[in-house]
Structure 1
């Protein structure tokens, strides 16, 4: 039996992958991470858990993703350590920039150096004015990471994002709208000037049926320039994270039309939430939900409060 070659692209919100906090002088001192008792032992357990996730993916899919976007990373050091571990075995490169996020969390990307070549990378930084009549005051958020890779003679633009969160009656919705409009303009320029493929992966803090996400998919003439394969998953109640009783699919991978043609080296076949039973909560009350690292300040020792998401492609070379 002949098996078609396939490739995967993944995104994973890893829930506060922070370096361990230095010992506090006083018991009630605030920590750099903002986490309770985030020491070397818990950090190492977290790294091991994240590596295990991708070992499970490798066993289930018979390959590892060629790109993996991450969010909730504090600095590059945890990823530098992660890629030395199995199943990555130092064969993956790391792209990361420190952002001005107030909690110090960033997005990042790792990539299989045997399959793709990094051409360029840059962070896209956003500033938002605070309405207090003081021009020196502004609000910051996590950068968007923009990388360009070469694969089989084709250029791939990969955007990794973690949009401002839904909190305080959705006060950040205009910020998400602004960032997505900016990315949309960049995609339109890529289409008109370079005609290169685009991948946008991340935690959108919006579901696939929200207007901000749907508007990203169309140009100024209302022609579709991007396809969100996670829309159908969401319609079928496939979720990557939960808020109280609500299932959410904030984690998505959006693709340009090249991946749906017949002549491009990567042809889209499926999208999925990798909700392996080992990554799910042991508590019957939360069955089917991610086994998280913390619940508030209570340490559970799990993987993340999100499941990874993936897109699968057949290879046409």
Structure 2
């Protein structure tokens, strides 16, 4: 059995420098984000995957991450238990205004990275000046070799939903471009694809339904999180609403009988230790901050993972 996981780790920034004045804005945007809180969060993220190993028997062979700021936080993370410097990092600094990126961690003993690149998007802003543009988080692409198969991995964190959802056109465009890249891979190379991330949309929304089909309306991808969402399973919450923005979408080849790696299950990982300490909200993630109030938790999202069965050894 193998696991592929994705986790939005909620604002993983290096500690802020001590402000000159108490009213100075912090680099992270967090309140009193110091060395102690940073190291506690690093240990907590590692602990999530230790719990995952205890429950499933294995660590994920690959982990997509979002809301990480720079490579150093990833270097610090893979030194902790249970990674113990046995994981590699694929990461590029994006042009996101908040300086948060996506990344891919991978088990060095199982996965070989053949190629990788950031896919960057630029958007015009209202003043139409060509020198002014808006940016967002990159989509990370990595081509890897795993279990004698080539897998093309896309890790994304699409623009957030805001008031009146002004970012929907950006999400539409990014998903459209990503879909085209995926279709080219499937048509030209007939290789496996995994698209994972925080999509800021639920699995039943139009964008994520459209990405599953090619131009002839043949289904080329499967989203196992669609069924989870339909049965009331969520990875994050906004006020009273449960959401499943965190998803792992796989090419149809993961569902074929003659495949070396075959999809078996999809889960939202939410053991009691990483859930809210409030009795009223015990089904929700134990987050690091609630607004500006430090809670000392793990993240405002639960991680998700897909179980893959290796037919050659199981």
One fold, TM greater than 0.5? yes
Tell me if 1:144 matches 2:139: yes
Partner residue, 2:153:
158
Q: Determine whether 1:217 maps to 2:209.
A: no
CA drift of 1:133 comes to: 2.7
Equivalent position to 1:42, from 31, 34, 37:
37
Residue 262 of structure 1, CA deviation? 1.3
Deviation string, structure 1 residues 61-86 (Cα, Å, up to 9, x no partner):
00000010000000010111111111
Residue 10 (str. 1) matches residue 5 (str. 2): yes
In the alignment, does 2:187 pair up with 1:200?
no
Q: Does 1:307 align with 2:291?
A: no
Which 10-residue stretch deviates more, 144-153 or 292-301? 144-153
| Cα displacement string for residues 90-112 of structure 1 (whole angstroms, at most 9, x for unaligned residues) | 11001110000000000001000
- What secondary structure sits across from 1:56 in the alignment? helix
Paired with 1:305 and 1:290, the residues of 2 have a C-alpha distance of 5
Q: Distance in 2 between matches of 1:187 and 1:281?
A: 37
Whole-Å Cα distance in 2 between the matches of residues 56 and 188 of structure 1? 36
Q: Helix, strand or coil for the counterpart of 1:233? A: helix
Aligned length: 312
Residue 90 of structure 2 is aligned to residue 95 of structure 1: yes
Aligned mates of 2:180, 2:159 — CA distance in 1? 19
Match of 1:132 in 2: 127
Whole-angstrom distance in 1 between the partners of 2:149 and 2:58: 21
**Paired residues for 1:55-134 under 5 Å:** 55-134=50-129
Q: Does 1:252 align with 2:228?
A: no
Aligned to 1:3: none
Cα-to-partner distance string for 1:145-179 (whole Å, 9 max, x where unaligned) = 00000012211000000000000211101110100
Please list, as runs of the form range in 1=range in 2, the aligned pairs for 1:278-297 lying within 5 A after superposition.
278-297=273-292
What per-residue deviation string (whole Å, max 9, x for no partner) do you get for residues 111-132 of structure 1?
A: 0011111101100000010122
1:271 and 2:266 aligned? yes
Structure 1 portions without partners, runs of 5+: 1-5
**1:32 is aligned to 2:21:** no
CA distance in 2, matches of 1:131, 1:24: 34
CA RMSD of aligned residues (A): 0.7
- Indicate the SS of the match to 1:46: helix
Q: Distance in 2 between matches of 1:57 and 1:314?
A: 17
Q: After TM superposition, give the deviation of residue 40 of structure 1 in Å.
A: 0.3
Looking at structure 1, the residues matched to 99 and 182 of structure 2 have their Cα atoms a distance apart, in angstroms, of: 27
- Mark the runs of 5 or more structure 2 residues left unpaired by the alignment: none
TM-score, structure 1 length as denominator? 0.97
Q: Find the residue that maps to 1:19 and give its secondary structure.
A: coil
In 2, Cα distance between equivalents of 1:63 and 1:152: 16
1:20 and 2:20 matched: no
